[in-house]
Structure 1
Amino acid sequence: MSPSEPGERQSLAALEPLAARVCPWATDRAAPEVDEDPDGPVRAMPVILRIERQEPPTPTALLEAAAAAALALCTDERSAPGGEWYDAVAAWCGAGRIRKLARRARTAHWRAVQDVPGVTVSELVRALVPGPVDEVPHEVRRLQIGGTDLPDDAPARVDDGRPVIWLNPRVEQSTGKAAAQVGHASMILATVVAWTGSDPADVAAPAVRTASEADWDTWCAALDDPEKAWARYGVAPVRDAGFTEVAPGTVTCIGQVAAGG
């Protein structure tokens, strides 16, 4: 099974390896065999967070922009077959892990990174075309990875019907780490939506909130059977590889197709 409309198939073709991993019940494509060659290139999507010194964004605004930007790049026409980004995005999605690396930028450095191929959302986050981590351009390499933490805010209740990415209420994550995780979640959510026959545009701008412990426990208890968890609650998880901050296999966040679902 694959996205029902020809245009959707084209726009999401680079995500087919991801679909085979996150919703195998919804696709007839086998998950690709991944050669985790320790000497091979490590591919990642750079995610540039605009955190100005004088007027920093709220973490909610930044994370929502990060989720939207990662997905926007993957569904951009340039990431479709024949597009200039297709090979890079497809190679990254087929690498076994959808690694992202968040970096902080401000003022002139933020302006400079706009010239690097990618997609900017809300003038807060720019997702760049993925590639080997040791081949990033100078404009990206000079940006700091740390210093992304922002003070908590109090976001409003999510409107019913809006897709949500729920952060794990029991795991501490830096803002930069969370930005990478919600970017994973938006891609996974759109992939499952598309491969189960709905319009991925419906989840293009998800809200980001921290889950209640009760809801989190309910969803996590259902994840042993991902197909049933999707059918009952409309949820799909992000399980971290454990390279930074959290233990391998930790569910860092859960995408849900609609608030109140």
Structure 2
Amino acid sequence: MASFFDEKEREENNVTKSFNEFRNQVLGKGYNIDGAYGNQCWDGYAKYCQYLGYPYANCTTSGYVKDIWNNRKTNGMLKNFVEVEIMQPGDIAVFKEVKGWTPLSHIAIFVKDLGNGYGLFLGQNQGGANGNFNEVKFPYSATFATAFRPKMFANSSETVLNKIPNDFIKESATFYCNVDKINIRLAPSLKGQLTGDWYENGMTVKYDGYVKREGYVWISWVSSKTKNRHWMAVGELNKNGYNTKPYGTFK
């Protein structure tokens, strides 16, 4: 996938590279950080924390990793991680007790979206030989409501995003603007670099998909003139994630 980076986008790319470096270091290997019960999923999480230079939390209530999420407000997790609802590579996900998937709870690191409600996760004790690190498909429905993003990664923001992100939802449709002006940006963010162009009342654009970020719906298309991917906010989301204040109509 081609990307056109400015300084901030290069910073985001370095975030992914850092996670990929960890991934390449541990895949197929096993770590028993606490010296008990072999290569457990908690040990994989602890190994990642060591790589990041962060202290790790322990399972102090039930003895299972669900404690890391349940006790997040008191166990120190929020000192070095921020809670997010949409994951990016390198975020830590904690899984609930779900029969057929994670019956004793589980913890792993998000790698990428696989579509249809599933993601690929890097972790230990999830089917690899001797409990070693491997990558497994899990349903998002098995995760707790939020994941943990390392703070060193959380402040990076894309001002240019000329690629399809993991949270992109494909949709081929036309947007009909009915407000005075909407700026066109190079990333789906209020910090996204402005193109200098905009859409006005009565103008239309064909788009190929959208994302939901920062409380807005952002449609996207590839400019026939510049060949760059463009982004535009077309409505405001309510607390349930629905576009209740659209800036036009969709057909």
Per the TM superposition, whether the score is higher than 0.5 is: no
Normalized per residue, the structure richer in helix is 1
Task: State TM-score, norm by structure 1.
Answer: 0.25
Task: State TM-score, norm by structure 2.
Answer: 0.25
Structure of greater relative contact order (alpha carbons < 8 Å, 6+ residues apart): 1
